[in-house]
Chains A and B, each alone.
Chain A
Amino acid sequence: MSGRFWSRVQTSALDPAALEQALAAASPEAGAAVTFIGRVRGQDGGREVAGLELEHYPGMTEASLAALIDRVRERWTLAAAAVVHRVGFVAAGECIVWVGVSAAHRADAFAACECLMDYLKTEAPFWKKEHGPVAARWVEARRADEQRAARWRR
């Protein structure tokens, strides 16, 4: 990571405290920082979930995350922004994605962080396979996620 805007995918565990520190260090003048942590649910729709296997499209994933950050930078005035996403197996309770945005004031930081997550959910080439106690199944895209992302495209 370098500079004020970065993204990466990794197989190792995410360290939200370290990431928040890095965001603050990259933008010492910012008055507001909003961070989002997505975790693997221990159950979903009544099914017990041991963890998720995250597949992605190496190359396209990194370019896609960088492009999403560029898009929110065009819309809001940001001091720094970062997206870090796990790939491979992520156990229930673990952090799967971390998004951090800093800005002079909170309104830009709140909106850009939410928009980044909504775009990521519907555009970045990741796919989740849910592993339960006995079986595994591919997670289906949710219409609600598409509707959330569509709000920002108006």
Chain B
Amino acid sequence: MLSVRFFASLRERLDCAALTLDWQPEWACIGDLHAALMARGPLWAEALDKPDLRCARNQQVADLQAPLEDGDEVAFFPPVTGG
């Protein structure tokens, strides 16, 4: 199982805060998951095809090359704007 979370404008655009997905052995890195999510439809493809898209793996900042394992929590979000 894989837990996927979306935040802020991305969450609103997808109308989705969280997903639970069955683990796929071919998902070697976050980029593979990203590609699978983009294949869910035109809305997902458009919303996730952003050069400034950020991601985290198990609540630590990561990139699309970061390895993925069964049980991980992956989050996608726009650049942060706190403070």
Interface string of A53-67 (1 = CB under 8 A from B): 011110110010000
- Are B77 and A127 touching (Cβ within 8 A)? yes
The number of residue pairs between A and B whose CB atoms lie closer than 8 Å in the complex comes to 70
- Are A60 and B75 touching (Cβ within 8 A)? yes
Residue ID in chain B nearest A9 by CB atoms: B82
- Say yes or no: is B65 at the interface (Cβ < 8 Å to chain A): no
CB proximity of A108 to chain B, nearest CB, Å = 21
- Say yes or no: is A73 at the interface (Cβ < 8 Å to chain B): no
Interface string of B45-80 (1 = CB under 8 A from A): 000000010001001110000000000000101111
Q: With A59-B59, A63-B59, A141-B52 given, is the CB distance from A120 to B82 under 8 Å?
A: yes
Residue A57 contacts which of B12, B59, B79, B83 (CB distance < 8 angstroms)? B59
Residue ID in chain B nearest A124 by CB atoms: B82
Q: With A60-B75, A141-B78 given, is the CB distance from A38 to B7 under 8 Å?
A: no
- Are B59 and A56 touching (Cβ within 8 A)? no
- Are A122 and B75 touching (Cβ within 8 A)? no
Residue A97 contacts which of B9, B75, B77, B83 (CB distance < 8 angstroms)? B83
- Are B59 and A128 touching (Cβ within 8 A)? no
- Are A126 and B52 touching (Cβ within 8 A)? no
Given contacts A63-B60, A125-B82, A139-B81, 5 further A-B contacts (CB under 8 A): A124-B80, A127-B7, A127-B9, A127-B77, A141-B52
